[in-house]
């Protein structure tokens, strides 16, 4: 018999959906029914999401200064709130948990108005706008990189780390294996759930600058946006690269486990997954992030020695080629970075977050929860 329904709310990007998915597995193992509220963007992730049911409620972000656009967004949010209230009244969840992104706002606002226990999980080192809007209303805040007892709401903030998917936990069992000079070198390049046009342009040029012996060693997995696939396919053919390119890899956990080096953006889920598996990385924060959250995430891993952070403006194809030349000839350095990244990982984050969810569902205070943890 189910202990009750837990309603998870997440924006439709991998960075929001993946941690929610990891928590969902843990909650189902503990006897809860799980429902997900998200938006249509999450369809490519939600197919494997362990939810009894997936719901879509109207939502919008207020990103425009146009009075007409703002009015339209406010109307959509109001409609979403009404829909979320009806959904919560029907499901009667024991707790509602938000993972950020504007689709979380209506269900979390509705929950707090209806007196249903609610909490949020912030994946990044800097709190996003949706979670900022909700933080004062919820009973608890779990943080992937937020400092324990820090920020604007120290009394209800707990650093849990970011939950990672079961596939990542499995991949973490694979020890890092160095690639010695002359041996194949597995390079994984990706830009988060939306891909990264910059990597599609920079990587082929960088690889063309490598010496033949190094280029022949490379085995590349690169996530490429659909609109860039034609360009990348041409470059792969011209350079005779040993490369797998696709807009999305369903087996990315296994590919990360086999990687000797990762070059990627520094979204919270990405940084957490790399550290749990324990792989050396070159992190290139998305330069247009509103809150510079990716730079803060990257800095947290770089501080442990598990990654090197390079701003996109400073990462020319020539620099990428230079970095690859250096690290492909220095497997010991990469092994040290891999060990440092693994040390920083929080593989038990999903269990800790599930503990926190159960505490809030039981209407215990964060002080009580922290006391039991101690």
> DSSP character for 245?
E
- How many C-beta atoms surround the C-beta of residue 368 within 10 A? 12
Q: Backbone phi, then psi, for 11, in 5-degree steps?
A: -65, 165
Q: Backbone phi, then psi, for 191, in 5-degree steps?
A: -125, 35
Residue 63 annotated as binding site: no
pLDDT of residue 70: 60
- pTM of the full predicted structure? 0.83
Helices (H), the chain: 14-29, 43-46, 67-91, 105-114, 129-135, 166-171, 197-208, 212-217, 229-239, 252-258, 268-277, 293-302, 317-328, 331-344, 349-361, 366-373
Rounded distance, CA 174 to CA 278, Å?
9
Residues 6+ apart with CB under 8 A from 248: 44, 223
Residue 364 annotated as binding site: no
Assigned CATH topology for domain 5-163+347-372? Rossmann fold (3.40.50)
pLDDT of residue 62: 60
- How many C-beta atoms surround the C-beta of residue 311 within 10 A? 12
How deeply is 288 buried, as exposed, middle or buried, from its count of CB atoms within 10 A (0-12, 13-18, 19+)? exposed
* Residue 97: strand pairing partners: 8, 119
Rounded distance, CA 119 to CA 137, Å?
9
Domain boundaries, the chain: 5-163+347-372, 168-344
**CATH assignment of 168-344?**
3.40.50.2000
Residues of the chain with pLDDT under 50: none
Token pair listed for 117? 């226990």
Residue 64 region by backbone torsions, left for phi larger than 0, else alpha for psi between -120 and 50, else beta? beta
pLDDT of residue 368: 86
> Angle at Cα 346 formed by Cα 342 and Cα 347, nearest 5°?
90
Residue 351 annotated as binding site: no
DSSP string, 75-136: HHHHHHHHHHHHHHHHH--SEEEE-SSGGGHHHHHHHHHHT--EEEEE-SSS--HHHHHHHT
* Residue 166: strand pairing partners: none
Fold match, 5-163+347-372 / 168-344 = yes
Rounded distance, CA 53 to CA 6, Å?
11
Residue 143 annotated as binding site: no
Token pair listed for 102? 């504007």
Residue 124 annotated as binding site: yes
Nearest to 19 by CA among 92, 139, 128, 174: 128
pLDDT of residue 56: 86
Residue 294 annotated as binding site: yes
Rounded distance, CA 17 to CA 305, Å?
28
Rounded distance, CA 267 to CA 279, Å?
16
Rounded distance, CA 302 to CA 325, Å?
21
pLDDT of residue 360: 96
Rounded distance, CA 283 to CA 165, Å?
21
Residue 157 annotated as binding site: no
Question: Tens digit of pLDDT for each residue in 172-196?
Answer: 999 999 999 999 999 999 986 555 7
């Amino acid at each position: 018999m189910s202990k009750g329904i837990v309603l998870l709310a997440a924006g439709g990007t991998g960075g929001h959906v993946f941690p929610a998915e990891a928590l969902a597995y843990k909650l189902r193992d503990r006897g809860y029914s799980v429902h997900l509220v998200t938006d249509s963007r999450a369809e490519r992730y939600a197919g494997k999401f362990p939810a009894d049911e997936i719901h879509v409620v109207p939502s919008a972000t207020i990103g425009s200064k146009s009075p007409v656009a703002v009015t339209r967004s406010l109307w959509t949010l109001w409609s979403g709130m009404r829909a979320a209230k009806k959904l919560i009244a029907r499901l009667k969840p024991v707790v509602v948990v938000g993972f950020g992104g504007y689709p979380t706002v209506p269900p979390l606002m509705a929950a707090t108005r209806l007196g249903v226990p609610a909490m949020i999980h912030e994946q990044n080192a800097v709190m996003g706008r949706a979670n900022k809007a909700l933080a004062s209303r919820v009973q608890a805040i779990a943080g992937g990189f937020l400092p324990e007892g820090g920020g604007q709401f120290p009394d209800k903030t707990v650093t849990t780390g970011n939950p990672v998917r079961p596939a990542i936990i499995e991949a973490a069992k694979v020890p890092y294996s160095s690639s010695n000079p002359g041996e194949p070198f597995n390079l994984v390049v990706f830009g988060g759930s939306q891909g990264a046009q910059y990597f599609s342009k920079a990587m082929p040029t960088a690889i063309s600058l490598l010496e033949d012996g190094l280029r022949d060693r490379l085995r590349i997995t690169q996530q490429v946006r659909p609109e860039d696939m034609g360009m990348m396919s041409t470059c792969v053919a011209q350079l005779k690269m040993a490369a797998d390119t696709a807009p999305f890899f369903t087996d990315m956990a296994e590919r990360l486990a086999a990687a000797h080096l990762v070059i990627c953006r520094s979204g919270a889920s990405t940084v957490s997954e790399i550290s749990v598996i324990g792989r050396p990385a070159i992190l290139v924060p998305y330069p247009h992030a509103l809150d510079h959250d990716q730079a803060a995430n990257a800095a947290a891993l770089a501080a442990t020695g598990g990654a090197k952070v390079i701003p996109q403006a400073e990462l020319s194809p020539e620099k990428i080629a230079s970095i690859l030349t250096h690290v492909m000839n220095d497997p010991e350095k990469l092994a040290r970075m891999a060990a440092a990244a693994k040390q920083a990982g929080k593989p038990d984050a999903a269990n800790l977050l599930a503990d926190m969810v159960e505490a809030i569902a039981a209407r215990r205070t964060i002080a009580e929860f922290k006391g039991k943890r101690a």
